[in-house]
Amino acid sequence: MDKIKIIGGNPLFGKIYISGAKNAALPLVCASLLTDEAVTLKNVPQLSDISFLNKLLLFLGMNIDEKHENLDTYPSMTYTYRANAISNLIAPYDFVRKMRASYYVLGPLLARFKHAELSLPGGCAIGARPIDIHLSSLEQMGASIEIKNGYVIADAPQGLKGAHIIFSKASVGATCNILMAATLAEGVTKIENAAKEPEIANLIDLLNAMGAKIEGRDTSVLTVYGVNKLHGAQLSVIPDRIEAGSYAIAAAITHGKLELINANPDFLQQPLRVLEKMGVEIQEFENSIIVNAVGKNIIGDDIYTDYYPGFPTDLQAQFMALMTVADGASLVTESIWENRFMHVPELCRMGANINIHGHASAIVRGVKKLSGAPVMATDLRASFALILAGLAAEGETIVNRVYHLDRGYECLEEKLRAVGANIERIKESDY
């Protein structure tokens, strides 16, 4: 497994181009299963999660054409998906275990082909991650669901029917899955307590461009008027707000100044306000953000993760890294996932002072300096927290299990090196 080596201490200066959002691209790609016409997606990030999903779709019988975009530095892709020869309605264990969001094929396959089989995703490092809301909603839409040999077997021989569904939690995944399923259901589906993340608005834009009739974009009540058929469409993946937030913290923790190009500040209001309270200067533009921490004294602040537009859980670990070197104490409360402090022991190995209270809260008391150490990445965002700590620490940090980062950060080392970081990947073959 590759490792990343960082020599800390360099302040970061320059521009970083923010890639397309992984969590938007995943459901957009699966929406292409809803039509036999071509769906073209631009600004798709080159990440292992996307290549795993493409492999699953190829396995189902999807045709995929790829084209490199003419972007200056980074390799985002345009993919054209044609689901005109789907021959397989089963998402097997080997795909789902590598990429949980494979569950996004369930709604589209069931809606269009009236049958789907999906290996149950199971848990992961950050918690149990059930899909009960997805399944009970499909049942409310007339599907029969059976769990057998670790698989969800879903049938709707007469097609799905519109239903009034109230989610018990504002699940991002369930909102996407049920939206996609409802586009081809007979009648009207109303989803209450839907998630409002920007990635869902991106999906609604694609589905409506494909001929779906969805009302309520950006609100927690979505109404879908089912249609018989969807057609092809083209859309760009929105910028990755979590990647942008992660690099904003890279500027803050190194006392540098970064311009984040192709970042939408509207998607990051809570994290940007917290950064300001911590002493960082933020300038917002339509498509970029400037983060300036040169000569600033970083002070502790509290965060509470919540559903959008609340503070994103996917930036919790990265903010915690910044808090470890802030003046004073910070309180971090994680309300979305039950086990999302796996980065804490690793940060403490680098000299951080963090105490976890119960499952959901951690108190971070800022220290003067972190010191480099070999550390273990446990999940995608926790891995970036360790990169941040390494950028700020004295000496050498080796981050192990880099495959987590490859799931969600396009060209990570290249982007950081270009703004002055001393960072390199050590290939498994080199050690």
Active site residues: 124
Question: What is the three-class DSSP state of 49?
Answer: helix
Q: Are the C-beta atoms of residues 319 and 332 closer than 8 Å to each other?
A: yes
Q: How far is the CB of 293 from ligand UD1 (least distance, A)?
A: 26
Site string for ligand UD1, 52-91 (x = CB under 6 A): ----------------------------------------
**Region from 50-58, 124-132, 156-164, 274-282 binding ligand UD1, contact rule CB under 6 A:** 124-132
Measure Cα distances from 404 to 95, 234, 337, 383, 401 in Å. Answer: 16, 30, 18, 7, 7
Determine the residue with CB nearest ligand UD1. 173
- By CB under 6 A, name the one of 30, 89, 110, 131 that touches ligand UD1: 131
Q: How far is the CB of 335 from ligand UD1 (least distance, A)?
A: 8
With 0-12 / 13-18 / 19 or more C-beta atoms within 10 angstroms meaning exposed / middle / buried, residue 331 is middle
The dihedral through the CA atoms of 297, 300, 305, 306 has a sign that is: negative
Question: Cα(319)–Cα(324) distance, rounded to whole angstroms?
Answer: 9
Strands 90-91 and 63-68: unpaired
- By CB under 6 A, name the one of 33, 86, 165, 172 that touches ligand UD1: 172
Q: How far is the CB of 337 from ligand UD1 (least distance, A)?
A: 6
- By CB under 6 A, name the one of 134, 257, 404, 407 that touches ligand UD1: 134
- By CB under 6 A, name the one of 92, 130, 142, 395 that touches ligand UD1: 130
Nearest to 322, CA basis, from 268, 276, 282: 276
Question: Cα(182)–Cα(174) distance, rounded to whole angstroms?
Answer: 12
23 lies in the binding site for ligand UD1 (CB under 6 A):
yes
Chain positions 212 to 271 lying near ligand UD1, rule: CB under 6 A, are none
**Region from 154-162, 169-177, 271-279, 293-301 binding ligand UD1, contact rule CB under 6 A:** 169-177
26 lies in the binding site for ligand UD1 (CB under 6 A):
yes
Nearest to 418, CA basis, from 10, 5, 70: 10
Question: Cα(50)–Cα(60) distance, rounded to whole angstroms?
Answer: 15
- By CB under 6 A, name the one of 66, 132, 327, 424 that touches ligand UD1: 132
CB atoms within 10 A of CB 61: 15
Chain positions 313 to 332 lying near ligand UD1, rule: CB under 6 A, are 313-314
165 lies in the binding site for ligand UD1 (CB under 6 A):
no
Site string for ligand UD1, 374-413 (x = CB under 6 A): ----------------------------------------
Nearer to ligand UD1, 194 or 258 (CB): 194
Here the tokens at position 56 are 């699953």
Question: Cα(125)–Cα(340) distance, rounded to whole angstroms?
Answer: 8
- By CB under 6 A, name the one of 203, 336, 354, 387 that touches ligand UD1: 336
Question: Cα(82)–Cα(84) distance, rounded to whole angstroms?
Answer: 6
List, in sequence order, every residue forming a beta bridge with 16; answer none if it has no partner: 260
Q: How far is the CB of 101 from ligand UD1 (least distance, A)?
A: 4
Question: Cα(159)–Cα(58) distance, rounded to whole angstroms?
Answer: 24
**Region from 171-179, 291-299, 371-379, 412-420 binding ligand UD1, contact rule CB under 6 A:** 171-179
Q: How far is the CB of 315 from ligand UD1 (least distance, A)?
A: 10
**Region from 106-114, 126-134, 315-323, 364-372 binding ligand UD1, contact rule CB under 6 A:** 126-134
Q: Which residue has 């009739």 as its token pair?
A: 213
Specify the amino acid at residue 411: C
107 lies in the binding site for ligand UD1 (CB under 6 A):
no
Start-to-end C-alpha separation, the chain:
10
Question: What is the three-class DSSP state of 20?
Answer: strand
Q: How far is the CB of 204 from ligand UD1 (least distance, A)?
A: 15
133 lies in the binding site for ligand UD1 (CB under 6 A):
yes
- By CB under 6 A, name the one of 174, 238, 298, 347 that touches ligand UD1: 174
Residues in the interface with ligand UD1 (CB under 6 A) total 20
50 lies in the binding site for ligand UD1 (CB under 6 A):
no
Question: What is the three-class DSSP state of 353?
Answer: strand
29 lies in the binding site for ligand UD1 (CB under 6 A):
no
Strand order across the beta sheet in which 144-148 lies: 90-91, 115-119, 151-155, 144-148
Q: How far is the CB of 130 from ligand UD1 (least distance, A)?
A: 4
- Determine if the peptide bond prior to 345 is cis (ω within 30°): no
List, in sequence order, every residue forming a beta bridge with 225; answer none if it has no partner: 188, 213
Residues that bind ligand UD1 (CB under 6 A): 23, 26, 101, 127, 129-134, 169, 171-174, 195, 313-314, 336-337
